[in-house]
Structure 1
Amino acid sequence: MLLSIDSLSSEAPDPRALIRSDLACILSHALDEREAGRGTLPDLLGLLPAQLADLSETWFPGLILPDLDAPDPARLPDQDAIALLLLWRGGHATPESHWFAAIIGRRAMETRHLWEDLGLPSRRALGHLIDRHFPRIHAANTQNMRWKKFFYRQICSDQDFALCLSPTCDDCAERADCFAPD
């Protein structure tokens, strides 16, 4: 749960509590998908088993996660491109930002909204997560573009490659598909 009675006070929320909450949502969702037979935790989260063990030990001491002996997950080029974009342009170089970059890169390969595929309660919660761990990426999304589309647009602009048919978003017939309110 992202909100508690304590978080409704006028004081700023504890950053560690927010990280723990985000990770709890993501792990819970991945464990549900694992239970449904969709893959191992490393496959579902895009983390090496050793990274997953470090994450668990750091944020959830005593939690015993399955699949820590699984083979390293296969990685797709797009997955790595998104993770690198977040890390290179994001703003922070913490263990958590590396874990979140890998997880977001992997979960962006799924078909639903990114916040849903991460197990977060809303798009706004995803925006807050990105703002905390990748503030420069968050600040660059000035028009509230959907995050997956924004990531790909950034990657394509780096590689002189046009994913979009229109040269600017304002002229595009599919603008409503890319941008959304919170």
Structure 2
Amino acid sequence: MKLIENFYCIQSVNFADDTEGISSIKTELVRPSIKLLDVEYSEKKTSTKNLVAKSCGASDEDFTLDELLFLSKTYGFEIEEDDNLKGYYKSVLKIHKLYDCPGYITLMELDGKEYLKIEFLRWQFDCQPRGAGEDMLGEDMLGEDMLGEDITYILGIWESPLLTDEIVSKIKASN
């Protein structure tokens, strides 16, 4: 498992003021479209799933609490039980009060190698969300839709991630 700390990034502030360059993990980016350095993109498959677990009534596609704990310890994020839904556990990021939704885990297969990205999304301002028309900017270089929250915190990107077969199956089943 190798941590990838830097990547090429285009930040879409709005339709006219995009900025681009090398960015790094553990930073907040505005609607980032990322591309891993020194990686070919001729063949790509991506699967994304919320980092949540249900302790009761979980299906074969839901993470178990043990799986979420494994991911938390391996990749360095916190989890907590939801205040309103007992038995529902979610990943949390406490660096800003507007990170109030669970994070996302994305498994990417690029030219025969596996990569894992963990990210958290938030609105830039308290007065958001805005209208859906303002949020529709297409998809990024990894083929992911860029809708909704405008600030993304990239917790990490790993090459050859440490995952169980069950976790990989659940991430892939989410598509």
Shorter-chain TM band: under 0.3
Ranked by relative contact order (alpha carbons within 8 Å, sequence separation 6 or more), the top structure is 2
Greater strand proportion: 2
